[in-house]
Amino acid sequence: MIQAKAYAAQTPETDLAPWEFERRDVGPHDVQIEIHYCGVCHSDLHQIKDEWFPGVFPMVPGHEIVGKVVQVGAHVKKFKAGDLAGVGCMVDSCQVCENCKDGLEQYCLEGNTQTYNNLDRSGVPTYGGYSNTIVVREEFVLSVSDKLSLAATAPLLCAGITTYSPLRHWKVGKGHKLAVLGLGGLGHMGVKFGVAFGAEVTVLSTSASKEQAAKDLGAHHFVVTSDPEQVKAVKGSFDFILDTVSAVHDMDLYLSLLRTNGTLINVGVPTEPYSVQPFSLLTGRRSMAGSGIGGIAETQEMLDFCAEHNIVSDIELIDIKDITASYARMLKGDVRYRFVIDMATL
């Protein structure tokens, strides 16, 4: 077994603290990565606090992982020691169902194996990226370009693919008015991709203070959602709304901002169910959809697209001992736009 160091939550009531555990040995199809940086996703906070479902504890969060390959199994073809590599939200899937064969491992009909807070296919708990090293089967390891800042690449593994995938699926681009709801980790990547794909992008935010920053990210317009006049001015105007909000919010209000045949794509995962007034959908034949991360091939496509177009996340690099304070800031929407842990501080 491989000795690993991490920060873990022992229970939903305790803060993250140093913890040591064992990773499996590198099998013939495995890649071992020395983790250099790991992004801090709001999903980490939802899960260590058991906000979605009862978790697997001790829990080592982290699914925006980048680092250097240190060891590969005998049958590994795509990677060698010294390569830069990344791991996102999944580390395995059945690989044979219809969805896995279509490159939609995130929708594996048997359920994908999540990078943490899950049991792997042999029943062993998975532990995520707030750690010095990880062992992952080759199919779930991504190639990372050395052209981009490695720390700023980390958030692409979740925030990046979670916004890239639905914008590609719904073919959002030139001629479309796209609203990005919530300017946090996912939202700021949604703005960057929406702009890169040629859409006219509006940020819908509760934080008036983010206006200039939204424009700096490339957004064409900014609407403060607490101002009824500003909201009224955009009623019925968007082809798509990419909803990245992490807390319960007024769906009927946001659906009313879609034009006829418009679609609200939900990627946020608040802890309570939504309520939706049926008239909000049938008026104007509006749709409400959802999307989860992205498949492995599409994640690689997104990383390659980012390397080609020089797109990374805007990050604030943190020491791992500041993780609990960083969660508190994330809850207040006070992060521009993603915390990334420098794993050298572990």
* Footprint on this chain of ligand NAP (rule: CB under 6 A): 41-43, 46, 158-159, 162, 182-187, 205-207, 210, 244-247, 249, 267-269, 291-293, 330, 333
The nearest distance, CB 338 to Zn ion, in angstroms, is: 10
- For position 43 contacting Zn ion by CB under 5 A, the verdict is yes
Shortest spacing between CB 340 and ligand NAP, in angstroms:
12
How far is it, in rounded angstroms, from Cα 265 to Cα 8? 32
Radius of gyration of the chain measured on its C-alpha atoms: 20
Q: Least CB distance from residue 294 to ligand NAP, whole Å?
A: 8
CA distance 76 to 89: 21
Return the one option of ligand NAP, Zn ion, none that residue 85 interacts with (CB less than 5 to 8 A, by type).
none
As given in the structure block, the two tokens for residue 48 are 């260590």
182 interface partner picked from ligand NAP, Zn ion, none, CB below 5 to 8 A per type: ligand NAP
* Angle formed at CA 300 by CA 82 and CA 166, multiple of 5 degrees: 150
Of 9, 31, 35, 41, the one binding Zn ion (CB under 5 A) is 41
- Closer residue to Zn ion in complex, CB, 93/162: 162
x/- track of binding to Zn ion for residues 147-166 (CB under 5 A): -----------x--------
Q: Please check whether residue 85 is in contact with residue 147, taking contact to mean a CB–CB distance below 8 angstroms.
A: no
Please, which residue, 226 or 260, has the CB nearer to ligand NAP? 226
Number of Cα atoms under 13 Å in the Cβ half of residue 200: 7
293 makes contact, choosing from ligand NAP, Zn ion, none, with CB < 5 to 8 Å by partner type, with ligand NAP
Burial code (b: 16+ CB inside 10 Å, e: under 16) for 81-120 equals eebbbbbbbbbbbbeeeebbeeebbbbbeeebbbbbbbee
Question: Under DSSP, is residue 143 helix (H, G, I), strand (E, B) or coil?
Answer: strand
Residue 330's binding partner among Zn ion, ligand NAP, none (Cβ under 5 to 8 angstroms by kind) is: ligand NAP
CB of 71 to ligand NAP, least distance (A): 29
Decide the pairing of beta strands 200-205 and 221-224.
parallel
- Which parts of this chain interact with Zn ion (CB under 5 A)? 41, 43, 158
